[in-house]
Amino acid sequence: MTRIDDTFARLRAEGKKAFVAYIMAGDPDLETSLAVMRGLPAAGVDIIELGMPFTDPMADGLTIQLAGQRALDGGQTLQKTLDMVAEFRKGDATTPVVMMGYYNPIYSRGVDRFLADAKAAGIDGLIVVDLPPEEDVELCIPAQAAGINFIRLATPTTDNKRLPKVMQNTSGFVYYVSITGITGAAAAEAADVGPEVARIKAATDLPVIVGFGITTPEAAERIAGVADGCVVGSAIVKLVGEGRPVAEVLARVAELAAGAHRA
Protein backbone atom coordinates (compact mmCIF):
# COMPACT_ATOMS: atom_id res chain seq x y z
CA MET A 1 0.00 0.00 0.00
CA THR A 2 1.32 3.41 -0.97
CA ARG A 3 0.20 6.83 0.23
CA ILE A 4 -1.88 6.98 -2.96
CA ASP A 5 -3.70 3.76 -2.08
CA ASP A 6 -4.23 4.98 1.49
CA THR A 7 -5.64 8.30 0.26
CA PHE A 8 -8.20 6.67 -2.03
CA ALA A 9 -9.23 4.25 0.72
CA ARG A 10 -9.81 7.20 3.06
CA LEU A 11 -11.76 9.17 0.44
CA ARG A 12 -13.96 6.16 -0.34
CA ALA A 13 -14.70 5.74 3.36
CA GLU A 14 -15.64 9.44 3.56
CA GLY A 15 -17.73 9.30 0.37
CA LYS A 16 -15.55 11.96 -1.25
CA LYS A 17 -13.87 12.43 -4.60
CA ALA A 18 -10.16 13.21 -4.97
CA PHE A 19 -8.84 16.64 -5.84
CA VAL A 20 -5.42 16.57 -7.48
CA ALA A 21 -3.44 19.78 -8.03
CA TYR A 22 -0.57 20.17 -10.48
CA ILE A 23 2.24 22.68 -10.01
CA MET A 24 5.57 23.04 -11.76
CA ALA A 25 8.62 22.48 -9.55
CA GLY A 26 10.78 25.61 -9.42
CA ASP A 27 8.21 27.97 -10.97
CA PRO A 28 8.96 30.84 -10.84
CA ASP A 29 11.66 29.88 -8.34
CA LEU A 30 12.30 27.10 -5.86
CA GLU A 31 11.27 29.10 -2.79
CA THR A 32 7.89 30.15 -4.21
CA SER A 33 6.99 26.75 -5.61
CA LEU A 34 7.88 25.07 -2.30
CA ALA A 35 5.69 27.59 -0.43
CA VAL A 36 2.78 26.78 -2.75
CA MET A 37 3.39 23.04 -2.40
CA ARG A 38 3.44 23.25 1.39
CA GLY A 39 0.09 25.07 1.36
CA LEU A 40 -1.75 22.68 -0.96
CA PRO A 41 -2.90 20.07 1.60
CA ALA A 42 -4.50 22.69 3.86
CA ALA A 43 -6.24 24.10 0.76
CA GLY A 44 -7.97 20.74 0.24
CA VAL A 45 -5.58 19.00 -2.15
CA ASP A 46 -5.62 15.22 -1.75
CA ILE A 47 -2.74 14.41 -4.13
CA ILE A 48 0.00 16.72 -5.38
CA GLU A 49 1.22 16.37 -8.95
CA LEU A 50 4.65 17.95 -9.25
CA GLY A 51 5.88 18.78 -12.72
CA MET A 52 9.49 18.06 -13.66
CA PRO A 53 10.57 20.94 -15.93
CA PHE A 54 11.78 19.73 -19.31
CA THR A 55 12.92 21.49 -22.46
CA ASP A 56 10.49 19.71 -24.82
CA PRO A 57 7.16 19.18 -23.01
CA MET A 58 5.18 17.81 -25.93
CA ALA A 59 1.93 17.08 -24.04
CA ASP A 60 1.71 20.50 -22.42
CA GLY A 61 0.02 23.67 -23.59
CA LEU A 62 1.53 27.13 -23.49
CA THR A 63 0.76 27.82 -19.82
CA ILE A 64 2.71 24.80 -18.57
CA GLN A 65 5.38 25.14 -21.25
CA LEU A 66 6.10 28.65 -20.00
CA ALA A 67 6.12 27.44 -16.40
CA GLY A 68 8.71 24.82 -17.25
CA GLN A 69 10.81 27.40 -19.06
CA ARG A 70 10.64 29.80 -16.11
CA ALA A 71 11.73 26.98 -13.80
CA LEU A 72 14.63 25.99 -16.05
CA ASP A 73 15.68 29.63 -16.44
CA GLY A 74 15.66 29.87 -12.65
CA GLY A 75 18.06 26.94 -12.36
CA GLN A 76 15.61 24.15 -11.48
CA THR A 77 17.06 20.67 -11.99
CA LEU A 78 15.87 17.13 -11.34
CA GLN A 79 18.03 17.07 -8.20
CA LYS A 80 16.45 20.28 -6.94
CA THR A 81 13.01 18.81 -7.60
CA LEU A 82 13.88 15.74 -5.53
CA ASP A 83 15.26 18.01 -2.81
CA MET A 84 12.02 20.01 -2.91
CA VAL A 85 9.99 16.87 -2.20
CA ALA A 86 12.34 15.88 0.64
CA GLU A 87 11.90 19.35 2.14
CA PHE A 88 8.10 19.09 1.82
CA ARG A 89 8.19 15.71 3.57
CA LYS A 90 9.73 17.28 6.67
CA GLY A 91 6.32 18.81 7.39
CA ASP A 92 3.95 16.37 5.66
CA ALA A 93 4.31 12.61 5.87
CA THR A 94 0.90 11.68 4.43
CA THR A 95 -0.02 13.68 1.28
CA PRO A 96 0.87 11.69 -1.85
CA VAL A 97 3.29 13.32 -4.29
CA VAL A 98 3.30 12.21 -7.92
CA MET A 99 6.06 13.43 -10.22
CA MET A 100 4.86 14.13 -13.74
CA GLY A 101 7.05 14.71 -16.73
CA TYR A 102 9.15 13.11 -19.43
CA TYR A 103 11.60 10.25 -19.53
CA ASN A 104 14.74 12.04 -20.72
CA PRO A 105 15.82 13.56 -17.37
CA ILE A 106 15.20 10.22 -15.62
CA TYR A 107 17.11 8.30 -18.28
CA SER A 108 19.99 10.76 -18.09
CA ARG A 109 20.21 10.31 -14.33
CA GLY A 110 19.95 6.54 -14.57
CA VAL A 111 16.77 4.65 -13.69
CA ASP A 112 18.12 2.78 -10.66
CA ARG A 113 19.66 5.90 -9.15
CA PHE A 114 16.56 7.97 -9.87
CA LEU A 115 14.19 5.45 -8.28
CA ALA A 116 16.33 5.10 -5.16
CA ASP A 117 16.54 8.88 -4.81
CA ALA A 118 12.81 9.36 -5.55
CA LYS A 119 11.84 6.79 -2.93
CA ALA A 120 14.18 8.35 -0.38
CA ALA A 121 12.77 11.83 -1.09
CA GLY A 122 9.20 10.63 -0.48
CA ILE A 123 7.76 10.38 -3.99
CA ASP A 124 4.79 8.03 -4.29
CA GLY A 125 4.04 7.87 -8.00
CA LEU A 126 5.26 8.70 -11.49
CA ILE A 127 3.46 9.87 -14.60
CA VAL A 128 5.84 9.74 -17.55
CA VAL A 129 3.87 10.78 -20.58
CA ASP A 130 6.29 9.67 -23.30
CA LEU A 131 6.81 6.05 -22.16
CA PRO A 132 4.20 3.75 -23.74
CA PRO A 133 3.30 0.34 -22.28
CA GLU A 134 5.62 -1.31 -24.81
CA GLU A 135 8.50 0.23 -22.84
CA ASP A 136 7.38 -0.97 -19.38
CA VAL A 137 10.68 -2.68 -18.75
CA GLU A 138 12.44 0.71 -18.95
CA LEU A 139 10.85 2.34 -15.90
CA CYS A 140 7.33 1.13 -15.09
CA ILE A 141 8.25 -2.33 -13.79
CA PRO A 142 11.38 -1.16 -11.91
CA ALA A 143 9.35 1.67 -10.34
CA GLN A 144 6.68 -0.70 -9.05
CA ALA A 145 9.38 -3.01 -7.68
CA ALA A 146 10.76 0.01 -5.80
CA GLY A 147 7.34 0.71 -4.26
CA ILE A 148 6.48 3.67 -6.49
CA ASN A 149 3.16 3.67 -8.37
CA PHE A 150 3.39 4.02 -12.13
CA ILE A 151 0.30 5.90 -13.30
CA ARG A 152 -0.75 5.60 -16.89
CA LEU A 153 -2.65 8.01 -19.11
CA ALA A 154 -5.73 6.92 -21.04
CA THR A 155 -7.17 9.25 -23.69
CA PRO A 156 -10.26 9.59 -25.89
CA THR A 157 -8.30 7.74 -28.59
CA THR A 158 -7.49 4.74 -26.33
CA ASP A 159 -9.87 2.24 -27.90
CA ASN A 160 -11.07 -1.05 -26.43
CA LYS A 161 -8.33 -2.97 -28.23
CA ARG A 162 -5.60 -0.74 -26.77
CA LEU A 163 -7.07 -0.28 -23.28
CA PRO A 164 -5.98 -3.63 -21.75
CA LYS A 165 -2.40 -2.93 -22.82
CA VAL A 166 -2.52 0.48 -21.17
CA MET A 167 -3.92 -1.01 -17.95
CA GLN A 168 -1.58 -3.98 -17.66
CA ASN A 169 1.08 -2.56 -15.30
CA THR A 170 -0.68 0.58 -14.10
CA SER A 171 -1.04 1.20 -10.36
CA GLY A 172 -2.23 3.94 -8.01
CA PHE A 173 -4.84 5.38 -10.35
CA VAL A 174 -5.58 5.87 -14.03
CA TYR A 175 -5.29 9.41 -15.37
CA TYR A 176 -7.94 9.97 -18.03
CA VAL A 177 -7.09 12.83 -20.39
CA SER A 178 -10.48 14.37 -21.07
CA ILE A 179 -9.69 16.05 -24.37
CA THR A 180 -7.74 15.26 -27.50
CA GLY A 181 -4.81 17.65 -27.46
CA ILE A 182 -2.53 19.47 -25.06
CA THR A 183 -3.10 20.80 -21.55
CA GLY A 184 -5.21 23.93 -21.30
CA ALA A 185 -6.49 23.60 -24.86
CA ALA A 186 -10.22 23.08 -24.32
CA ALA A 187 -12.86 22.58 -21.66
CA ALA A 188 -13.69 19.12 -20.35
CA GLU A 189 -17.36 18.16 -20.64
CA ALA A 190 -18.89 15.74 -18.13
CA ALA A 191 -21.31 14.38 -20.74
CA ASP A 192 -18.35 13.26 -22.85
CA VAL A 193 -16.16 12.15 -19.96
CA GLY A 194 -18.71 10.06 -18.05
CA PRO A 195 -19.10 7.22 -20.59
CA GLU A 196 -15.33 7.07 -21.11
CA VAL A 197 -14.68 6.79 -17.38
CA ALA A 198 -17.24 3.99 -17.16
CA ARG A 199 -15.51 2.19 -20.04
CA ILE A 200 -12.13 2.43 -18.29
CA LYS A 201 -13.56 1.34 -14.94
CA ALA A 202 -14.92 -1.78 -16.63
CA ALA A 203 -11.30 -2.68 -17.45
CA THR A 204 -9.67 -1.92 -14.08
CA ASP A 205 -10.33 -1.78 -10.35
CA LEU A 206 -8.16 1.34 -10.04
CA PRO A 207 -9.63 4.81 -9.40
CA VAL A 208 -10.01 6.94 -12.52
CA ILE A 209 -9.02 10.60 -12.21
CA VAL A 210 -9.80 13.08 -14.98
CA GLY A 211 -7.51 15.90 -16.04
CA PHE A 212 -7.04 18.51 -18.81
CA GLY A 213 -9.60 21.25 -19.42
CA ILE A 214 -10.83 21.80 -15.84
CA THR A 215 -10.54 25.45 -14.84
CA THR A 216 -13.39 26.35 -12.47
CA PRO A 217 -14.89 24.97 -9.23
CA GLU A 218 -18.09 24.21 -11.13
CA ALA A 219 -16.21 22.21 -13.76
CA ALA A 220 -14.29 20.38 -11.02
CA GLU A 221 -17.60 19.42 -9.41
CA ARG A 222 -19.12 18.22 -12.67
CA ILE A 223 -16.09 16.18 -13.75
CA ALA A 224 -15.43 14.70 -10.30
CA GLY A 225 -19.11 13.73 -10.27
CA VAL A 226 -18.56 11.27 -13.13
CA ALA A 227 -15.14 10.00 -12.00
CA ASP A 228 -13.18 9.27 -8.81
CA GLY A 229 -11.77 12.79 -8.84
CA CYS A 230 -10.19 15.43 -11.01
CA VAL A 231 -6.90 17.19 -11.71
CA VAL A 232 -6.45 20.94 -12.13
CA GLY A 233 -3.15 22.18 -13.49
CA SER A 234 -3.08 25.04 -15.99
CA ALA A 235 -5.57 27.17 -14.02
CA ILE A 236 -3.24 27.05 -10.99
CA VAL A 237 -0.01 27.40 -12.94
CA LYS A 238 -1.45 30.44 -14.74
CA LEU A 239 -1.84 32.28 -11.43
CA VAL A 240 1.75 31.51 -10.49
CA GLY A 241 2.86 32.77 -13.90
CA GLU A 242 0.98 36.02 -13.34
CA GLY A 243 3.01 36.57 -10.19
CA ARG A 244 0.04 36.29 -7.84
CA PRO A 245 0.92 36.04 -4.13
CA VAL A 246 1.14 32.52 -2.72
CA ALA A 247 -1.87 33.18 -0.48
CA GLU A 248 -3.99 34.15 -3.50
CA VAL A 249 -2.92 31.05 -5.42
CA LEU A 250 -3.82 28.84 -2.47
CA ALA A 251 -7.18 30.58 -1.99
CA ARG A 252 -8.07 29.74 -5.60
CA VAL A 253 -6.89 26.16 -5.11
CA ALA A 254 -9.21 25.92 -2.09
CA GLU A 255 -12.16 27.05 -4.24
CA LEU A 256 -11.34 24.44 -6.89
CA ALA A 257 -10.89 21.72 -4.25
CA ALA A 258 -14.22 22.61 -2.65
CA GLY A 259 -15.87 22.16 -6.05
CA ALA A 260 -14.41 18.69 -6.49
CA HIS A 261 -15.32 17.69 -2.95
CA ARG A 262 -18.96 18.72 -3.50
CA ALA A 263 -19.28 16.06 -6.20
What are the pLDDT digits (tens) for 87-142?
999 999 999 999 999 999 999 999 999 999 999 999 999 999 999 999 999 999 99
Domain presence at residue 205: no
CATH of the domain at 246: 3.20.20.70
From the list 27, 46, 49, 221, the catalytic residue is 49
Domain presence at residue 74: yes
- Known catalytic residue: 248? no
Q: What angle do CA 151, 53, 76 make, to 5 degrees?
A: 130
Number of domains in the chain: 1
Q: What is the phi-psi region of residue 171: left when phi exceeds 0, alpha when psi lies from -120 to 50, beta otherwise? A: beta
From the list 5, 6, 14, 60, the catalytic residue is 60
CA–CA distances in Å: residue 63 to residues 32, 185, 214, 220: 17, 10, 14, 19
- Position 184 scores a pLDDT of 59
Burial of 201 (0-12, 13-18, 19+ CB in 10 A): middle
Domain presence at residue 182: no
> Is the pLDDT at 171 greater than 90, yes or no?
yes
Domain presence at residue 75: yes
Question: The pTM is what?
Answer: 0.96
Domain presence at residue 186: no
Domain presence at residue 157: no
Q: How far apart are CA 175 and CA 86, in angstroms?
A: 25
Domain presence at residue 177: no
- Known catalytic residue: 60? yes
- Residue-range definition of the domain harbouring residue 69: 3-148+214-262
Domain presence at residue 69: yes
